[in-house]
Structure 1
């Protein structure tokens, strides 16, 4: 029975990867997307925990290939296979925190909100640190670091809004679609 449950999760995994990758290719506000929420959702819901990592990483990689080689091809020489390690590390931490703090059987909206806020903040801190370290736009000083974080604030607000909205939709949908325990009807005697 356990393997049937796991095999039934494969279509959901593929659908989430497709949805997350497509969301990055469609017009949207910068950093407003479902990838972070899907990382948390996968961590809480998939029986095989490697699937929780597969959703954000596969979606990011596939959409990065399309974005970097179609939309932004003029910025790269030849076919670009690369990825941003800071972004992938941020989503990896998101999955790890989801694995440690979210459980499908112990769901709570308060816990989900707290984990979502925490992972969004960590993602922001980590990726903007990467921008500061790897970009000639910001001097390698405390002032440069503060400038990098300040420039990233609009992206933080969009990330937070997207993570909260998509986490609510994914977890709320799962709660709504979850099988309910059957209750016996009590017959009243007149």
Structure 2
């Protein structure tokens, strides 16, 4: 089985669009700050695609480069829509990229077998890993402006991020079955063999 390029490109486009939708809505007066809106932050096919890429992309480096490029495109889109460079290039951004890479790395474990139990386990594990690492970055590099730089502040950061973890888990439950199904996968087409016709004189 190999990935169907059209489906992967479509979901990547949706991933970028989902990141930009709240900032587009902000142009019409909607509040875009995650704590002050009902927008379903972190509900996106992006992390499921990272996991899928680690499992299915023939070239390992593409499992990292494709999501990095998509995330960077989203960041640049946020900057273009808001004019806020600090929203596109933020202090904990390297931690986010490392968290994305970790999800892709977990996907490599599915190269040895892709039963539904293994896919579900990888989805759960990568969701938790992204939650732990990304929110640690928010706390550690926030300068104490949002959460105090002590243990209580770290706990508060994780507690406040639980709704985003929920949305990530829902994303995994929705998009992983699609990605590891015949919707996104196709059997390689066999190349027919030809024999040279014998020459006649």
Q: How far apart, CA to CA, are the structure 2 residues paired with 1:10 and 1:175?
A: 8
Report the more deviating stretch, 49-58 or 169-178: 169-178
1:81 CA drift (Å)? 6.4
Distance 1:51 1:11, change over 3 A: farther
Q: Is the 8 A contact 1:133 1:140 kept in 2?
A: yes
Find the partner of 1:45 among 36, 45, 56: 56
What is the CA deviation profile of residues 139-162 of structure 1, one whole-angstrom value per residue up to 9, with x for unaligned ones?
111111111111101111011111
Q: Aligned pair count?
A: 168
Find the partner of 2:156 among 122, 147, 152: 147
Aligned to 2:127: 120
Aligned to 2:29: none
| CA RMSD of superposed structures (Å) | 2.8
Q: How far apart, CA to CA, are the structure 1 residues paired with 2:16 and 2:7?
A: 14
Structure 1 residues not aligned, in runs of 5+: 180-190
Q: Is the 8 A contact 2:45 2:171 kept in 1?
A: yes
1:12 CA drift (Å)? 6.4
Structure with more contact order per residue of length (Cα contacts < 8 Å, sep ≥ 6): 2
1:56 CA drift (Å)? 1.2
- 1:98 equivalent to 2:107? Answer yes
- 1:162 equivalent to 2:171? Answer yes
TM-score, reference length from structure 2: 0.73
Distance 1:173 1:55, change over 3 A: farther
Q: Is the 8 A contact 1:128 1:148 kept in 2?
A: yes
Find the partner of 2:42 among 25, 31, 40: 31
